Structure 1
Amino acid sequence: MLATIHGERTLTELDFVRLGKLADQQLPPALAELLDAADVLPSREVPANLVTMNSQVEIEDPATGQRQQITLCYPGDSQPGAGFVSVLSPVGIGLLGVKAGTLACWRMPNGVERSARVSAVLFQPEASGDFTR
């Protein structure tokens, strides 16, 4: 497993459907598990502090305090060096559906466990009134 799912996860209906369509590709087991276990809400009902697809978040390494801004995106838009992290990556799976203040945890392909606290959701499409992004 490339990511560890800790705690409650919530997805928008649109994110759930779109991620389910990625099943044509080989989904990481952790993402398939997340889709099976997540609560699903209409986009208009998700809280503004929830990490959804295309959200820009600030994360903080709990060990070093180092902060980083990333945008959670679909695989075709991924540019890790520019801060656009694919939802199919361990980090992306670890962040999807968690709320600000949550410690997101994941396992890297080499087996090393990593974590980061979601210190803020800086932009969320649904909070800005965009329910189709």
Structure 2
Amino acid sequence: MHATIHGERMLTELDFSRLAKLYGGQLPADLADLLSGTEVVPSRDVSADLVTMYSQVELVDAHTLRRQKLTICFPGDAEPAAGFISVLSPVGLSLIGLREGAVARWLTPSGEACSAEVVSVLFQPEASGDYTT
């Protein structure tokens, strides 16, 4: 497992449904673990500080204190150089469903442990009234 999935997470019903259908339901173990242990709520009921699909977040690396802006997206929209990170990447999977102030933890492909605090949700579709993206 590359992403550390623990603690309370929350997904919108739409995000949950779309994630569960990825790869025809043949989900990677990390994603299946996340979906099985996550609270699911209507999109209109999430607070603006929750990381949902297509949210742009500002992170601070726990070790380097480097700030970074990332947008969590579906695999087909991923452009890491532009800051669009697939929800199925270790970083994306560690962020989805967290709130501002939470710490995301993941392993790099080489096995290095990383962590970063979600200091701000800069944009969230649901907070702007978009319940279908």
TM-score, normalised relative to structure 1? 0.96
SS in 1 for 2:62: coil
Identify if the C-alpha distance between structure 1 residues 66 and 91 changes in structure 2 by more than 3 Å, giving closer, same or farther.
same
Q: Return the offset for 1:78.
A: 0.2
Aligned to 2:70: 70
Aligned to 2:5: 5
Aligned to 1:34: 34
The answer to whether the 8 A contact 1:2-1:29 is kept is no
RMSD: 1.1
For the residues of structure 1 that align with 2:93 and 2:22, how far apart are their CA atoms? Answer: 13
Total equivalences in the alignment? 133
Deviations 1:87-121 (A, max 9, x none): 01000000000000001111223222111100000
For the residues of structure 2 that align with 1:107 and 1:116, how far apart are their CA atoms? Answer: 12
The answer to whether the 8 A contact 2:20-2:27 is kept is no
For the residues of structure 2 that align with 1:113 and 1:50, how far apart are their CA atoms? Answer: 24
Kindly report which structure 2 residues correspond to 1:9-88, keeping only aligned pairs within 5 A, or say none. Answer: 9-24=9-24, 27-88=27-88
Aligned to 1:105: 105
TM superposition outliers: structure 1 runs of 4+ over 3 Å: none
Question: Residue type of the partner of 1:124?
Answer: Q
Indicate whether 1:122 and 2:122 are aligned.
Answer: yes
Q: Return the offset for 1:62.
A: 1.3
SS in 2 for 1:126: helix
The answer to whether the 8 A contact 1:15-1:52 is kept is yes
Deviations 1:28-74 (A, max 9, x none): 31111000000000000011100000000000001121100010000
Question: Residue type of the partner of 1:115?
Answer: S
Question: Residue type of the partner of 2:76?
Answer: G
For the residues of structure 1 that align with 2:74 and 2:112, how far apart are their CA atoms? Answer: 24
Question: Residue type of the partner of 1:89?
Answer: S
Gaps of 5+ in 1: none
